[in-house]
Structure 1
Amino acid sequence: MAPPEPEVFDVVIFGASGFTGKYVIREALKFLSPDSSSPLRSLAVAGRSRDRVAAALRWAAAPAPPPEGVAILVADASDPASLAALASRARLVLSCAGPFRLHGYAVAAACVAAGADCLDISGEPEFMERVEAELHEPAARNGSLIVSACGFDSVPAELGFLFHSRQWEPPSAPATVEAYVSLQSTKRIVGNIGTYESAVLGVANASQLQALRRSRPRRPRPN
């Protein structure tokens, strides 16, 4: 008798025990329901350490216990086999493990190979452009959708630009847009260590981004 096929989850949150990953779990649990009307009926959380991921799930669900049916998967960005197994069980992977220049590409590549979709919270230009350059064609063949820059610092800028561009009467269009973000808080506003690490690595390896851009064919300017 053949063993049962592993369950495929609507969403798998990878990097679930990290700072951002815990909050992503908390938001996902608000939508999780086995009811057919829910957009999220099955969920798994994943990371290198089962114990740390389990602790993150308990934190996100508090004060209630974690809902039944949320699976814990073990996968490591440095272990391609574990990522392949994870991606094969996901319709969508929410990739929260940065810095993405170190940990993100292998996750995106595993999703492309499995035909799964992948959203990440990266704001790192070299990672995003390398994924586009190297994974676009296989992703298109496999029906895999890869979307970067889904974090707080990216989405308002994207939506703001989209709104602004729609205010112009065709064929007019904006040539440049400057965006500003104002933060107000009764507490000190600080950044997470992962954000600083990503910024430092990006500056330290700026030459690699320049080399990547030089290696790609120039796109024609729009008329």
Structure 2
Amino acid sequence: MNRQHGTERPWDIVLFGATGFVGSLTAAYLAAHAPDGCRWALAGRSLPRLERLRDQLALTDPRCADLPLLTADADDAEALGELAASTHVVASTVGPYIRYGEKLVAACADAGTDYADLTGEPEFVDRMYLRHDTRARETGARLVHACGFDSVPHDLGVYFTVQRLPEGVPLTVDGFVRAGAVFSGGTFASALSALGRGRQTAAAARERRLHEPRLVG
């Protein structure tokens, strides 16, 4: 493992896609809850929109007036490489991920930078494993997908439930979520993209099963 986190980098967290609907919510959360001393930055493709977001955050916390702003396009591999190399963690809210996400994942895998997103696109998750898991293991990058609402409640619910069931026996857990929210534009676009890629999604899942080592036990 060639983990590069021992080297000093300017930022602890870079939020990529900060000016989108979910990105702005994440930025507001970081502004309110980031630990003291956490060095974080806003990133996206439009500097004017990043500046407006920073101004909005500064209205509630004047310290945000000095937040660094980084510009990079999701299709610019060179700029994404520089962004990934400048931070320990990248959190990306830019979807649909199957269309806009891979170059950032590749950049983080190469740079040994931890990566998190909120994709709900199984094809993207499987293809990123197939294409970038080996490199991420070499550099020590941790690529963590599906950190959004359509995934985390199910994961936590299953974890909570299994802790209260007998050990050492086969278990099947079905999950159900009821919500009154509406899709954001990015989530709606991701859903439409996934619905139109059923064949590709199934193919990626089959290929991953062929390559991923089976768990023992």
Q: Distance in 1 between matches of 2:183 and 2:116?
A: 22
Aligned to 1:211: 203
Q: Which has the higher helix share?
A: 2
The alpha-carbon deviation at position 222 of structure 1 amounts to 6.6
Q: Distance in 2 between matches of 1:110 and 1:212?
A: 21
Residues 214/64 of structure 1: CA separation in 2 closer, same or farther (3 Å cut): closer
Which residue, 121, 127, 134 being the options, matches 2:118? 121
**8 A Cα contact 1:57 1:66, kept in partner:** no
1:29-68 to 2 correspondence within 5 Å? 29-32=31-34, 38=36, 41-65=38-62, 67-68=64-65
1:165-204 to 2 correspondence within 5 Å? 165-174=162-171, 176-183=172-179, 189-204=181-196
Gaps of 5+ in 1: 1-5
Please identify runs of 4+ aligned residues in structure 1 that moved more than 4 A. 218-223
**1:27 lines up with 2:24 in the alignment:** no
Tell me the C-alpha RMSD between the 2 structures.
2.2
The alpha-carbon deviation at position 66 of structure 1 amounts to 5.2
**211-220 or 134-143, which deviates more:** 211-220
Aligned to 1:146: 143
The structure whose RCO (Cα within 8 Å, separation 6+) is larger is: 2
SS at match of 2:205: helix
Gaps of 5+ in 2: 1-7
Residues 74/178 of structure 1: CA separation in 2 closer, same or farther (3 Å cut): same
Aligned to 2:84: 87
SS at match of 1:133: helix
Residues 221/71 of structure 1: CA separation in 2 closer, same or farther (3 Å cut): closer
TM-score (norm 2): 0.88
**8 A Cα contact 2:57 2:64, kept in partner:** no
Q: Distance in 2 between matches of 1:57 and 1:32?
A: 15
> How many positions carry a matched residue from both structures?
209
Q: Which structure has the larger Rg over C-alpha atoms?
A: 1
Residues 182/203 of structure 1: CA separation in 2 closer, same or farther (3 Å cut): closer
